[in-house]
Amino acid sequence: MEQPQRRQPPLEPETLPPLVETRPHHVGGGWGETLRIILATIAVVIGVRTLTFEAFNIPSGSMVPTLLVGDYLFVNKAAYGYSRYSLPGFLRFGDAAPPVTKDCKAAPGRLFGSLPERGDVAVFKLPKDTGVDYIKRIVGLPCDRLQMIGGALYVNGEMAARVRAPDFVLHEGFGGAFTAPQYIETLPGGRTHPVIEMSGDQGLLDDTPVFTVPPGYVFGMGDSRDNSQDSRVPEVVGFVPVENLVGRATYIFLSVKEEESLWRFWRWGRSIRTERFWERVE
């Protein structure tokens, strides 16, 4: 016989579940909220770009063999402290004359400032056109005396030793394979780096007068000694105010062969130099 089902007694009024709120909740949105999010994102991006690292690419061969055309690298913006040139261009309102100092160890015009080390590869704003970024090796510090004699660099009367190394060969660009005599140069203080001499030791910039770096300035040169407009050419670059330094080059994070475009992704297999990824810039 089928058992009768027991019916549940009705709930007492005090045990009934509370009514669910059916009124719509306010949800933030609209143009005002969107604008706040956009402004906050822009502020974060500007802050990171100003205070930490910024990406640059190499468009010329003046730093061969250390840097090749098509290298993309990170620059440490905090390495030498901060100046007006640490800011994006649209946040700078005009350029002023570099601050004057008589202290050979000072870094004028910089917050938390410090001088580069001799041998650093640094990005700086071109003194004659601060809208242009240059990258060179800092070989002279404030109050140093520098001169090129027969292709050799002299710093404060001391020759930077050069040791012959195997020729530098680049199997791309420059109309085909490119070969140049290569040396390992040692700066006073012990920093070493490679340089190449495309025209031997008789190039236009292989013999120069003595350059005395003023306080508050540095002296930069390219590692491709015969293919670099740098501090040896006063009418183009000359002495670089410490204030104009943007930062120190650190790592190559991407490298594309000179004759290729980064945007031709279908040719990445033969255009990307994977062996240069995360190579330290020294």
Name the nearest CA neighbour of 75 among 248, 258, 276.
248
CB atoms within 10 A of CB 253: 15
- Cβ-proximal residues to 17 (8 Å cutoff; 6+ apart), any chain: none
Whole-number Å distance between alpha carbons of 69 and 82 = 28
Look up 62 and say whether it is catalytic.
Answer: yes
73 C-beta neighbours (distance < 10 Å), count: 24
Exactly one of 62, 83, 86, 228 is catalytic; which is it?
62
- Laid out side by side, the sheet with 152-155 consists of 158-159, 152-155, 145-149, 211-212
Active-site option among 83, 136, 255, 271: 136
Burial of 121 (0-12, 13-18, 19+ CB in 10 A): buried
Decide if 257 is catalytic: no
Token pair for 134: 């240059």
**Are the beta carbons of 110 and 118 closer than 8 angstroms?**
no
Task: Estimate to the nearest angstrom the gap between the alpha carbon of 93 and the chain centroid.
Answer: 22
- Locate the DSSP E strands across the chain: 53-57, 71-76, 121-126, 129-140, 145-149, 152-155, 158-159, 161-170, 178-186, 192-196, 198-201, 211-212, 217-221, 240-241, 245-255, 279-280
Catalytic residue numbers?
62, 136
